[in-house]
Structure 1
Amino acid sequence: MLNKRHVIRVEGIVQGVGFRPFIYRQAQLFALNGWVYNDTQGVLIEVEGPESQFALFLTAIRTKLPPLAHISCLSTHEIPLTSVPGFAIRDSRHSVQQSTQISPDAYVCPDCLSELFAPEDRRFRYPFINCTNCGPRYSIVCGVPYDRPLTTMVDFPLCQACQQEYDDPTSRRFHAQPNACTDCGPALGLFDQDGVQIPTDDPLAESLVCLQQGEVLAIKGLGGFHLAVDAQNCAAVARLRQRKFRDEKPFALMAKDIQTVGQFAHLGAVEKRLLESVERPIVLLEKKLEQTLICELTAPNNRYLGVMLPYTPLHYLLFEAFPALIMTSGNQSDEPIAYGEAEAFARLNGIADVYLSHNRRIQIRTDDSIVRVMNEEPLMLRRSRGYVPRAVKLNRAQPSVLALGADLKNTICLTADDRATLSHHIGDLKNQAVLDSLKQAVEHLQQLHHIQPQLVAHDLHPDYFSTSVAMQMTHLPKLAVQHHHAHLVSCLTDNGRDEPVLGVIFDGVGYGSDGHIWGGEFLLGDAAGFERVGHLAELAMPGGDAATREPWRMALSLLVAAYGENLPALAVLEDIPPVNRRLLLQMMHKEINTPLTSSCGRLFDAVASLAGLRQTVSYEGQAALELEMRIDKTQQLTPYRFELLDNDGKIIVNPRPMVHELVADLQQGRDAGAVSLRFHLGLAEAILQVCQRIRARQGALPIALSGGVFQNVFLTERVTALLRAANFEVLLHRQTPPNDGGLALGQVVIAGRYLDSLKLPDCLPGVAGAYQLDGYQHR
C-alpha cells in the first residue's frame, strides 16, 4: 500500500495533559513517521505511512485520549511525502493565531497517590507530587503555549532525575510542567498568626497538632487558602464562625474518603460520581438524621452539607489524622479568597492561628466549585476550580466579546470564535478587593487567549459595580444587556440551542427595561431580543434594599397587597414594633422609598417571614433556602392558589388567594413545613398555567428555566415534572449555574448577535469611544 502524509491540527485542552507523548506512542504503535509539537493554537501533527494505519491512528486520537485531554476541533489534510524516518516530539512554537485552551486544575491521580504512600518511591510523602494526568494547571499558567517557562513553576529548575522524566516520551511525567520532587520543587512552611515562619523540620506534623488542639489553620492549596478546623470540634467551628463574621452561612467540608462521607450524609450514585470525579467539586448532600460525626454548627438550619473529597497530595496527608475537616474559603465574608502569602497574612490576621503555606506561586485564584443533584443530573451552583477555564461551545463563531456579569456571584466571560470561556468564581462585588479581582480576571483571560475584544457587555443596571468597570473601558464600545434576558440566553446556550423559547426567569433582583426591579419573569425570545409576556404581580419593597435584609418588610408588603388596611392577626405582625409597622405602612401608602418589584426571591422572603422562619438574613438567599429546607414532603396537601390576570396582553401572577390561604393555615396552627409545601406546590402550578396560556397564544415553544430560584431542587423538579407531563420541552442549566454565576455567558451571546447584526468593522476596537451601543431589540 502506498504511503501518504497528513497534517493534523488539534485544538482544545491538549497541552499539559500528556497529549504529545500520547501521540508519540500511537505513532510508534501504528509505525507512522513524522512529528508533533505544541503551538499557540493547540497541537500540530504530521504523520506519514499507509492509509490504513493512518485511519487507525485517527480513531485512537478520538477515542483513547489522556484523562485530562479534550478535543474541540480536529482537522486534517494531505501534503507531499518527505520520507523522513522516525517520529519526534518537537519544541513548542509560537504562531500569530492564539486559540490554545488550558486544562483546569485536576485532582491527584491514582498513580501519583500510590507513589505518595510508597516508602520506596523517591516522592514518598511529597505534598506536590503530580504527573501529566493530574495536578495544578489553570492556577499556575502565566501564558501560552503551556510550557514550564510560562508557568509559576519557572521558579523551580528541575533536578537531574526530574529532568530525565520530563524529557522521556515514555514517562508519565513527560513535559508535566509542574513536575518536581523534594530536591528541586516547592516546599511547605509553617507560619504564625503574624506571618513569621516557625522553625520546624516537619511543618505538616506541626499543623496536625494545631488542628487537634482546636486551632484555625490556614492552608494554601491549588487556587488559594482554605481555613480549616476539626469538623468534630464544635468549639473550634464556633470560633471560626465568630472570627470570619459568618453567623449562619454553611461551611464546606472535606472528608477523608467516600466511606467517611457515607457515615454522615446520604449518597446516591450521581453524588458519588461527582465526589470522585477529576473535578472534585463541593457536592451538596442531605444529612443523615442520626449522624454524630459532623458538628451541627457546620450548616445550621440546613438539611444539607457541602462536601468534597481531597484533591491535592497535601490534603491526603492531612487526612491521615482526621475523618473530616471544615475547609472553607480563606477570606472574610464578602471578600475574594486569599491566594498570596502576604495577602493571606494581612487579610486572615485575626482569623487564622497558624498558616501552612508553600512557595509555589498561584497565578490566578480559583475557589472551589459547588454542585448539587437534581433530577438525577448535576446542577452547577458555582463553576470554578476543576471546570474553569473549560470553554462552552457556541452554536456559531462570533466576534470576540467580553462580558462582565452582574454584581452577585460574579463571573466574567470572553469569546473566541465559537468558544466562550467563563472565568472562575469572583464573588459579590461589594468591596474594592473583589473589584480588583474582577479586573485581574479580565487581564488574565485576555492574556491567555491573546484577544482584544470588540465590545464589552454589562448588566443594564446603571449602578452595578460591574457596569462601572465597563464604563472605565473607554477604548471599547458597550452594550447594556437586560438581566433576565441574559439568564434566558445563558440557559439556551448551555443547551446548545438558539431558537426562540419561553423563559421562566425567577430570581432576586434584576433591573428591568421599564426601570422597575424584575425577578419573576416570563420572557419570549432568543439572543436577538425578547418580549415580556408575563410576570409576578409587583410588590412594594418598603425601605428599598433594607427589604432584602429584613424579610418581615416583604411580609408586611404582601399582607397589605392582599388585605389592604385590614391586616389579619398574625404572630409576625405582633413581633414588629408598632412604631416600625406604622412607619412602613405610611411609606407604602405615600410611595416613599418603596420601589416596586416582581421578584420571586422577595416573594420567598415574605412567605418565609410569615411562616416564622426568618425575619432577618445574614447572607443572600438565606430565607428562601430555609423555606426550602422546611418542606414537609410527608403530608398530602393541596397547592396554594395563585390568580392569573390579564394586563394589556401580559399575564400577571397575583398571589392574593395564596396569601389568604396561607394566613388561614397559620391561624389554624399549621406549621412551617406544611406552609412551605403548599407554597412550593402552588407556585409550580402557577408556572404551568402561565406556560399553557402562552402556548395557546404563541404555539408550542421549549421552556427555559433560569435564575437563582431554580437552584431550589424541590421547586425545579416539580415544575419540570408538571411541564413535561403537559408535553413541554424543558431546558435546564447543566454546564453553567442558573444563578448570576452563569449570566456572563448570556451577555456575550446577546452581544455577539448584536455585533453580527450591525456588521461592525474589524478596526472598531482601536477607535476609542467611536460607538456607544445602548440598546437592542426588546419590547
Structure 2
Amino acid sequence: MRKSGIIIIKGIVQGVGFRPFVYAQAEKYKICGSVKNFGSEVRINAYGDNFEDFLIALSKGTPLSKIDSITIEETDFNPPNGFFIEKSSSGSLSGFIPQDVAICDECIDDIFRNKSRYKDYWATSCVNCGPRYSIITDVPYDRERTTIDEFPMCRECTQEYESPASRRHHAQTIACSVCGPELFLLDKEGNPVSCNDPIKHTAKLLDDGFIVSIKGIGGFHIACTEISAQKLKECLGRTQQALAIMAEDKTILEIADAEPLDIELLKSPQHPIVVLYKKNRNSHPKISNLDTIGCMLPYTGLHHLLFAELKSPLLIMTSANAPGNPMITKTSTAVSKLKNCVDFHLTHNRHIENRCDDSVVREGYIIRLSRGYAPKRTKIDLGKNCILGTGPELYSNISIYKDGFSYTSPHIGNIKNPQTLDYLENTVSKFKKLTDAEFDIIAHDMHPQFLSTRYAMRLSEELGVETIPVQHHKAHIAAAFEKRDEPCVGIALDGVGLGDDGAIWGGEIFAGQINSLSRVGHLEYIDMPGGDLATRFPERMLFSFLPEDNISELLLSRGWKDNEVSILERQIKTGFNVFKTSSAGRVLDSASALLGICKERTYDGEPAMKLESVASAGTPEEWNLNIYEKDHCSVLSTKDLLKHTFSSIGRLSVPDIAASVQYNLSRNFAKIAISKAENLGIPDICLSGGVFINHAIRETIRDEIQKAGLNLIINREYPFGDGCISYGQCIYAGILSDN
C-alpha cells in the first residue's frame, strides 16, 4: 500500500479554501509534508500510513472547488515533522478564479451572535464565502494580489488566518471592524453624514422613502422601498421596466410562487435574481407591471444587517447604471452620476477591481450570466489554438478558449455605449492576463458594423493573428449543442442578427454539424421600415404584415396623423430605408402592438414581455398556418399568423389571442424542425435564442419535439440570449480551424 507521493490536483483550487482543506485532512489522517499553490493546481508532498484514505478525502474537495484531475508522482523526499502550507508560485492558469459568492450561514451567525468579534461587521467572510473575482488583481490568488491587501490584518485576524482549526485559516478576505474596510454614509453631494451607525441610519432613510445608492461586492445598487418605486423609475427614465427586489425568503414566498428549484437557486451560493410568477398578477404594479417579479435574497453581511434594521419587508435593488452601461464601481462616480436620482450613498473603502452585476435566472435557465456564475469555466476540447470570442453588440460578454478550457466573462452590456466598449476591452485584457492567453484566433460576429467586430479586427492587426467571422445564430446553436461530432437540428429564435444573405435573421432552423450548418427553415421575411425605428415603434411593422386599408384605419383610430400613415405607406412601397427580417422578436412585438398591449418599446424586449404577461391569463386557439418552400428552405408565414390575430380581435379575449399567437408561432415552427430532423435522420433538436426565455414558446416546442420522439437539447449552463454568443464563437472557430 502506498505511503508517500506527490499529489497533483488540477482545477478550480484557488480562492476556495483548498490549501486549508488539505491541511485539515493532513492533520486528520496524520500526514506529514506540505501543500503549495501553483496557479490552477496544488501540489501536495504527502507521507503517512493513511496516505490512501487521505487521497480519498482530498478527492471530495471544498464546497467551491472543482477538481479536474488528480495524479500522483513517486517521491523519495524526507518528510518533515508535521504538515505545512507553502507560499504560492505561478504556474499553469487553467483553473482561473472562482466567482463571488454569497455570505455563508456560519458567517451570518457570526455577525449576529453576541460576543462574536464579527458582531455587526458588514464585510465578514471566510474560506467558503464572500468576494473573489471582484477583488482579484492577479493570480495566484493570495491576499497580496487582491484589493483587501490594502487592509493589514490585526492580531486577532492574523491568529485566525494562521490557525488550522479556524474556518478562516488562509481565508484571503479575512477582516474585522478593527482592521477591515469601513462603511461611510454620504449625502447626495458626497459629504459625510454624521451618525453612529451608517447601516441603522440608512435603514431609517429607506423606510422614510429616500433613495440610496449602496456599494456592494461588484458595484453599486440603487435601493428604495416600494413607496419610492415610481419616483426611482422616473429618475432612471425606465417608467415601464420591471425592477428586482431583495427580501428575506418569507416575504418572497408571500409575494410569489416558488418551485423547489427556485428556492434552491435563491438559497444557492450564487444567490441570483430569480424571476418568479406573482401569486397575484396585479400585485406590486409599481415594481413590476408583468405577471412576474425578480427576487433575490440578501447575499452580503451588509444586506443582512440592513434588513435587520428595516421596517419595510422588501427593497427595490437595481444596478446603478444607465441601461446597457457598466455598473458604477467608484464612490466619486456614483456621487457625480446619480445626483438627480439618489438622496444618499452608503459606501465603503474596499476597491472593486472587477465589476460584476447580479445574475438573473428563470425556471433554472440563466438569463444574465454574472455574479456567482461568472467568470465561467467550461472544460471543452477545441484543439490547440487559443481563441478569443468578442461576442455580440447587445448583452455582450467575452470568452477565451485555451488548453481545453473556455472562460466566459460576466455580463458586460451594450457596447454601442463608449463606456461599455471600454469595459469590454478592459475585460479582454484582464482575462488575457489571468489565463496567460496568447491568442491565435479572434472570432467575432459577421456584422461588419458591430463595435465588437471592429474591435476584433483592430486587435487582430495589433497581434497579427487570424480572425474568423461567425454568423450570429450559428454561434447560438454552437453554444447550445454539445455533441460537436454529430449533426443536429438547431432552432434559433431571437431579435436580430445579420444573416448570410444580408437580411436580418431571427427565426432560423439549421441542420448539420456545427462547422457546416445549413439553413433549412426560417420565419417569413417581413419588411422592417426604418430599421431601429420599427423596433422602437412596433406599430410600424403592421403595414408589412396586414392589408394596408385595415392597418391605416387602425393606426388613424389610435392617433396617427394622415400624413404619418401616408409616409409609412410610401416607404413600404418604395423600399426606402426598409430592411428584410425574419426576426421572431419583431413578430412578437408586432402582435403586441396590434393587440394594443405595447405600442412603444422603452426597454429591450418590452413588447414581447408584456405580450407574454397578458398571454399567461389566456387559453390558446389552434391555428394551422401556411408553410411554403422557397430557396430550399421551409418558410413559416408570419403574415398568416398576424392575419389570424387581426381576425380574432372582438371574437376572442385579448389574453386568449396573445396566448394563441405564442402557441401557434411555436407549434408550427416546431413542425418544420421536426420534419427536417425526421427527413435527415437526425435525432437531436437544440434550442437557443432570447425568445426561449418565454415559457409558453419554449414549452410548446418542447412538447412537439417530445411527441415526435426526438431529443430536445438545451444548454442550461449558458443563457438562451446573447450571453452565450462569445462562447459559441469560440466553439465554431475552434472546430473550423481544427479541421
TM-score by length of 1: 0.91
Shift of 1:49: 3.1
Shift of 1:39: 1.5
Distance 1:85 1:186 in 2: 38
Partner of 1:722: 704
> Is the alpha carbon distance of 1:554 and 1:498 closer, same or farther for their aligned partners in structure 2, counting shifts above 3 Å?
farther
Distance 1:572 1:288 in 2: 36
Distance 1:81 1:202 in 2: 56
Distance 2:56 2:707 in 1: 41
Q: For residues 615-636 of structure 1, give each alpha carbon's deviation from its aligned partner in whole angstroms, at most 9, with x where no partner exists.
A: 111011111111111115553x
Query: Please, what is the CA RMSD of the aligned residues?
Result: 1.8
Conserved in 1, the CA contact under 8 Å of 2:702 and 2:712?
Answer: yes
Are 1:364 and 2:354 counterparts?
yes
Q: For residues 543-565 of structure 1, give each alpha carbon's deviation from its aligned partner in whole angstroms, at most 9, with x where no partner exists.
A: 11111101101122111xxx4x5
Partner of 2:693: 711
For residues 293-304 of structure 1, the aligned pairs below 5 Å read 295-300=284-289, 302-304=290-292
Shift of 1:169: 2.0
Partner of 2:428: 442
Shift of 1:291: 8.1
Are 1:685 and 2:667 counterparts?
yes
1:268 aligned to which of 250, 256, 259: 259
Shift of 1:719: 0.7
Amino acid corresponding to residue 614 of structure 1 in structure 2: C
Shift of 1:425: 0.8
Distance 1:202 1:137 in 2: 27
Runs of 4+ in structure 1 over 6 Å off: none
Are 1:646 and 2:629 counterparts?
yes
Partner of 2:730: 748
Shift of 1:222: 0.3
SS at match of 1:186: coil
Partner of 2:301: 313
Partner of 1:764: none
Distance 2:553 2:64 in 1: 58
Partner of 1:592: 576
Conserved in 2, the CA contact under 8 Å of 1:397 and 1:419?
Answer: no
Shift of 1:679: 1.3
> Is the alpha carbon distance of 1:529 and 1:346 closer, same or farther for their aligned partners in structure 2, counting shifts above 3 Å?
farther
Amino acid corresponding to residue 69 of structure 1 in structure 2: S
2:539 aligned to which of 526, 546, 552: 552
> Is the alpha carbon distance of 1:289 and 1:41 closer, same or farther for their aligned partners in structure 2, counting shifts above 3 Å?
closer
> Is the alpha carbon distance of 1:479 and 1:634 closer, same or farther for their aligned partners in structure 2, counting shifts above 3 Å?
closer
1:237 aligned to which of 206, 229, 237: 229
Shift of 1:290: 7.9
Amino acid corresponding to residue 642 of structure 1 in structure 2: L
Q: For residues 134-192 of structure 1, give each alpha carbon's deviation from its aligned partner in whole angstroms, at most 9, with x where no partner exists.
A: 11111000011100010001100111110111111221111111101111100001111
Conserved in 2, the CA contact under 8 Å of 1:16 and 1:175?
Answer: no
> Is the alpha carbon distance of 1:182 and 1:77 closer, same or farther for their aligned partners in structure 2, counting shifts above 3 Å?
same
Conserved in 2, the CA contact under 8 Å of 1:11 and 1:101?
Answer: no
Partner of 2:721: 739
> Is the alpha carbon distance of 1:258 and 1:194 closer, same or farther for their aligned partners in structure 2, counting shifts above 3 Å?
same
Shift of 1:105: 0.6
Q: For residues 426-481 of structure 1, give each alpha carbon's deviation from its aligned partner in whole angstroms, at most 9, with x where no partner exists.
A: 11123111111111111111121121221211111111111122122122332211
Amino acid corresponding to residue 67 of structure 2 in structure 1: I
SS at match of 1:296: coil
SS at match of 1:722: helix
Conserved in 2, the CA contact under 8 Å of 1:332 and 1:348?
Answer: no
Q: For residues 384-433 of structure 1, give each alpha carbon's deviation from its aligned partner in whole angstroms, at most 9, with x where no partner exists.
A: 00111130221455421111111111111111212111111111123111
> Is the alpha carbon distance of 1:491 and 1:224 closer, same or farther for their aligned partners in structure 2, counting shifts above 3 Å?
same
Distance 2:70 2:557 in 1: 68
Are 1:530 and 2:527 counterparts?
no
SS at match of 1:595: strand
Distance 1:625 1:306 in 2: 13
Distance 2:553 2:280 in 1: 32
> Is the alpha carbon distance of 1:334 and 1:84 closer, same or farther for their aligned partners in structure 2, counting shifts above 3 Å?
closer
Distance 1:469 1:658 in 2: 40
Shift of 1:613: 0.8
For residues 431-470 of structure 1, the aligned pairs below 5 Å read 431-470=417-456
> Is the alpha carbon distance of 1:45 and 1:329 closer, same or farther for their aligned partners in structure 2, counting shifts above 3 Å?
same
For residues 113-132 of structure 1, the aligned pairs below 5 Å read 113-132=108-127
Distance 1:395 1:323 in 2: 48
TM-score by length of 2: 0.96
Q: Percent identity?
A: 35
Distance 1:573 1:533 in 2: 39
Pairs aligned (count): 733
1:195 aligned to which of 169, 187, 190: 190
Q: For residues 357-377 of structure 1, give each alpha carbon's deviation from its aligned partner in whole angstroms, at most 9, with x where no partner exists.
A: 00000001000000000xxxx
Are 1:340 and 2:336 counterparts?
no
Amino acid corresponding to residue 111 of structure 1 in structure 2: E
Partner of 1:282: 273
Amino acid corresponding to residue 252 of structure 1 in structure 2: A
Q: For residues 723-771 of structure 1, give each alpha carbon's deviation from its aligned partner in whole angstroms, at most 9, with x where no partner exists.
A: 01111111113011010011110001111223323xxxxxxxxxxxxxx
SS at match of 2:58: helix
Shift of 1:206: 2.0
Conserved in 2, the CA contact under 8 Å of 1:4 and 1:78?
Answer: no
Amino acid corresponding to residue 596 of structure 2 in structure 1: G
> Is the alpha carbon distance of 1:323 and 1:566 closer, same or farther for their aligned partners in structure 2, counting shifts above 3 Å?
closer
Conserved in 2, the CA contact under 8 Å of 1:105 and 1:138?
Answer: yes
Amino acid corresponding to residue 359 of structure 2 in structure 1: S
Amino acid corresponding to residue 668 of structure 2 in structure 1: A
Distance 2:587 2:615 in 1: 16
Shift of 1:98: 2.7
Distance 2:501 2:282 in 1: 51
SS at match of 1:357: strand
Amino acid corresponding to residue 677 of structure 2 in structure 1: R
Distance 1:558 1:291 in 2: 32
Partner of 1:766: none
Shift of 1:572: 4.5
Q: For residues 248-272 of structure 1, give each alpha carbon's deviation from its aligned partner in whole angstroms, at most 9, with x where no partner exists.
A: 11111000x2111111111211111
Partner of 2:177: 182
Conserved in 2, the CA contact under 8 Å of 1:17 and 1:103?
Answer: yes
SS at match of 1:82: coil
Partner of 1:768: none
1:384 aligned to which of 351, 360, 370: 370
Partner of 2:318: 328
SS at match of 1:541: strand
Shift of 1:122: 1.0
Distance 1:553 1:30 in 2: 73
Are 1:146 and 2:137 counterparts?
no
> Is the alpha carbon distance of 1:332 and 1:696 closer, same or farther for their aligned partners in structure 2, counting shifts above 3 Å?
closer
Partner of 2:507: 520
1:56 aligned to which of 53, 75, 99: 53
Are 1:607 and 2:598 counterparts?
no
Give unmatched runs, 5+ long, in structure 1: 758-779
Conserved in 1, the CA contact under 8 Å of 2:182 and 2:349?
Answer: yes
Conserved in 2, the CA contact under 8 Å of 1:92 and 1:145?
Answer: yes
Are 1:659 and 2:658 counterparts?
no
Conserved in 1, the CA contact under 8 Å of 2:39 and 2:89?
Answer: yes
Point out the more displaced range, 502-511 or 5-14: 5-14
Partner of 1:775: none
Conserved in 2, the CA contact under 8 Å of 1:38 and 1:145?
Answer: yes
Conserved in 2, the CA contact under 8 Å of 1:640 and 1:657?
Answer: no
Partner of 1:486: 475
Partner of 1:695: 677
Amino acid corresponding to residue 632 of structure 2 in structure 1: G
Distance 1:57 1:639 in 2: 62
Distance 2:40 2:674 in 1: 48
Distance 1:570 1:448 in 2: 60
Give unmatched runs, 5+ long, in structure 2: none
Distance 1:350 1:465 in 2: 30
Conserved in 2, the CA contact under 8 Å of 1:412 and 1:442?
Answer: yes
Conserved in 2, the CA contact under 8 Å of 1:398 and 1:753?
Answer: no
Conserved in 2, the CA contact under 8 Å of 1:641 and 1:657?
Answer: no
Conserved in 2, the CA contact under 8 Å of 1:524 and 1:533?
Answer: yes
Point out the more displaced range, 130-139 or 390-399: 390-399
